[in-house]
Amino acid sequence: MSVKAPKGVRLVITLTGRRNAGKSSLINAICGEEIAIVSEMPGTTTDPVARHHELLPLGPVTFYDTAGLDDEGALGELRIQAARKVLFRTDVAVVVAGEEGITDYEKEIIAELRRMEITFLVALNKRDLRDDTGADIRWCAEEGIRVLAVSANGGDGVRELKEALIAMAPGEFREEPLLVRDLVNEGDWVVCVVPIDLAAPKGRLILPQVMVLRDILDADAVGLVVKEREVEETLSNMGKKPALVITDSQAVLKVAADVPEDVPFTTFSTLMARYKGDLEALVEGADMLDKLTDGDTILMGEACSHHEVADDIGRVKIPRWITQYTGLDLNFEFYSGNDFPEDLEKYALAVHCGGCMLNRTAMLRRVRECRRRGVPITNYGVAISKVQGLLDRVIRPFGLAGE
């Protein structure tokens, strides 16, 4: 991965703690350059700020410098809420304790990180200004928490902190999670079906399609890109059976009719469901479409904000298909970007986009949070295949079977 890697595949490291604990200074010390504003005035950092950096051997990472969680007033509460939202897409957190050491504030943060199952360590910053860190180190040892004493200004312990962050990175940042390369072999031909309609971005393909094509090439296979109207002719002229046909979910019904049953067949969104999250959980969540009742509310979640177009996939097409499939009077609520509702219990089902703009940790956390609170969750592609009667077929290449 390069420094220009999409943010959805970057490791996210968030520094959190009280105001003036030295979070910004510590980011500068880790990165070896002045990329975060530093001041003795508490509350200098307001909204969470993303800082990109190359942390070898992991590659590109994003550091989030958050507002102090002890901020005050109505505006301070908004800053705290913004800082907490960052935690939903955090892979590794650093709880930064300043001169006061570990207080009830830090302990509350630690309890929240544990609840969210976020990997973290404690950095006892400003050790050059403290006489003794022994009590804090002993408390961390008793709690089973990794702790390092550092000095952002003096540089003491910063190297050890960087090494610890590298060691704590989730496994997928050392080895990419599987997208499509395990389904094809060197020399195989893969047909990618890419509709070009009003929703298609001008002059480019959408990120999941680009990612899949790159993975096909990395597997030394051959990728053919066609529109949905060209599938039948392409397959008849290939002279060999493709190892796999992958289609945009919006065209799954038409394309499935043109692809012989003995040819493995799936969708870009189903591949993303496995790459970004928990495919089995998302397939299981789709079963809820058969159990909905009149008046149920469905959460439609998008990881990115974009201008709504006519016949928008998430806001128009999928709600229409689900309504037609169930024959019920349903309510749909829409959330986009980094926000995710806190009152999840009100929803009978969550239908999420492919999550190409989220990192895998953030997507998995959304899946886990929904399931923990008793809300089935699926994704766009899986839901579309379900209501089109094709779910069994599109998950077959992964060794899964629906109901």
Q: Tens digits of per-residue pLDDT, 121-159? A: 999 998 777 767 889 999 999 999 999 999 888 788 999
Rounded distance, CA 218 to CA 262, Å? 25
| Residue 312 pLDDT exceeds 90 | no
Grade residue 258 by pLDDT with cuts at 50, 70 and 90.
very high
**What is the C-alpha to C-alpha distance for residues 269 and 181, in angstroms, rounded to an integer?**
15
Q: Considering the chain, tell me which residue range(s) the CATH 3.40.50.11410 domain(s) occupy.
A: 280-391
Give the tens place of pLDDT for each residue, 105-122: 899 889 989 988 889 999
More confident: 389 or 364: 389
Which element (helix H / strand E) includes 63?
A: strand 59-65
What is the tens place of the pLDDT at every residue in 259-289? Answer: 999 999 999 999 999 998 789 999 999 999 9
Q: Which CATH architecture has domain 7-173?
A: 3-Layer(aba) Sandwich (3.40)
- Residue, of 173 and 161, whose pLDDT is higher: 161
Specify burial of residue 250 (Cβ count, 10 A radius: 0-12, 13-18, 19+).
buried
C-alpha to C-alpha distance for 271 and 264, rounded to whole angstroms? 13
Q: How far apart are CA 299 and CA 353, in angstroms?
A: 11
Summarised one tens digit per residue, pLDDT across range 188-203 is 999 999 988 666 667 7
Q: Which amino acid belongs to residue 168?
A: M
In the chain, ranges of CATH 3.40.50.300 domains: 7-173
Say what the pLDDT of residue 7 is. Answer: 52
**Residue 385's closest CA among 243, 242, 300, 286?**
286
Sequence-ordered list of residues with C-beta below 8 angstroms from that of 312, at least 6 positions apart, any chain = 199
**Distances, alpha carbon 138 to alpha carbons 142, 166, 328, in Å:** 6, 24, 58
Q: Do residues 146 and 167 lie in contact, with contact meaning Cβ atoms separated by under 8 Å?
A: no
Among the ranges given (243-247, 260-264, 310-314), the one the predictor scored with the smallest mean pLDDT: 310-314
Confidence (pLDDT) at 218: 94
Q: Quote the mean pLDDT of the chain.
A: 85
Q: What percent of the chain has pLDDT over 70?
A: 83
Ranking 311-315, 317-321, 392-396 by mean pLDDT, the lowest is 311-315
Q: Rounded distance, CA 300 to CA 291, Å?
A: 17
Range name among 83-87, 92-96, 312-316, 357-361 with the lowest pLDDT average = 83-87
Options 3.40.50.11410, 3.40.50.720, 3.100.10.10, 1.20.58.2240; CATH of 280-391: 3.40.50.11410
Burial of 89 (C-beta count, 10 Å sphere; 0-12/13-18/19+):
buried
DSSP 8-class letter at 157: T
Q: Residues 387, 351: contact at Cβ < 8 Å? A: no
**Tokens, residue 234:** 């392409």
Arch. (CATH architecture) of 181-271: 3-Layer(aba) Sandwich (3.40)
Which residues of the chain are in CATH 3.40.50.11420 domains?
181-271
Indicate the pairing of strand 49-55 with strand 59-65: antiparallel
C-beta of residue 87 within 8 angstroms of C-beta of residue 14: yes
Mind listing the pLDDT tens digit for each residue in 327-355? Answer: 999 999 998 876 678 789 999 999 999 88
Where do runs of H (alpha helix) occur along 32-127?
A: 73-87, 104-115
The b/e string for 99-136 (b: 16+ C-beta within 10 A; e otherwise) is eebbeebbeebbebbeebebebbbbbbbbeebeebeeb
Radius of gyration of the chain (CA): 24
